[in-house]
Amino acid sequence: MYLLEYRNKEMFLAGGMKFSIPENVRIIATMNTADRSIALVDFALRRRFAFLELAPEYEILREYHKKLDFDAGPLIKLLDAVNTKIDDKNFHLGISFFMSKNLKAELEEIWRLEIETYLGEYFFGQPDSVSDFTWKKVKDKILV
């Protein structure tokens, strides 16, 4: 982290070699703001570096699947409903779960193993909040 902040400096690595980061190297990283176990590191990074907040961009999902002959409209509508229910931008579902070339065949597995378990954890102790978003209830809305 020191070298990211002070690029004109060099440090000795454990093996005795000098190391520095050239001026023309840019580091782009992602950070999940929902993970509060790294709050101190998060704060240290936020003080030193620029941050750009990113939200799910449904149009990217729509355009990606248009080329693959999959109508992402119903899925996008459902994702929007899920994120409205979550009501906290730090925990919203993103689109990366669904950026698959064979989504129609993989969708049930993704939903059951990724989305349902995530929602179960997020809405722990609130089974009614999850019940509307089980695969059994959403599959006919997505696979129109």
The pLDDT of residue 127 is 86
pLDDT, tens digit, for every residue of 95-135? 999 999 999 999 999 999 999 999 999 999 998 889 999 99
pLDDT score of 17 more than 80 = yes
pLDDT higher than threshold 80 for residue 2: no
> What type of residue sits at position 56?
P
If we measure between CA atoms, which residue out of 43, 62, 111, 53 comes closest to residue 82?
111
pLDDT 10s digits, 19-77: 988 888 887 777 666 666 666 666 777 777 777 788 899 999 999 999 898 999 999 99
Q: Tokens at residue 39, please?
A: 């709050």
Task: Report residue 50 as tokens.
Answer: 């620029």
The pLDDT, as a whole number, for residue 38 is: 65
Separation CA 65–CA 46 (nearest Å): 35
pTM: 0.73
14, with CB counted inside 10 A (0-12, 13-18, 19+), is exposed
d(CA 51, CA 29): 10
- C-beta separation of 93 from 79 below 8 A: yes
CA distance 112 to 41: 33
The residue among 64 and 5 whose pLDDT is bigger is 64
Q: Is the CB of residue 55 less than 8 Å from the CB of residue 46?
A: no
CB 75 within 8 A of CB 59: no
Q: Quick one: pLDDT at residue 51?
A: 77
> In angstroms, rounded to a whole number, what is the distance separating the alpha carbons of residues 71 and 28?
32
pLDDT of residue 115: 96
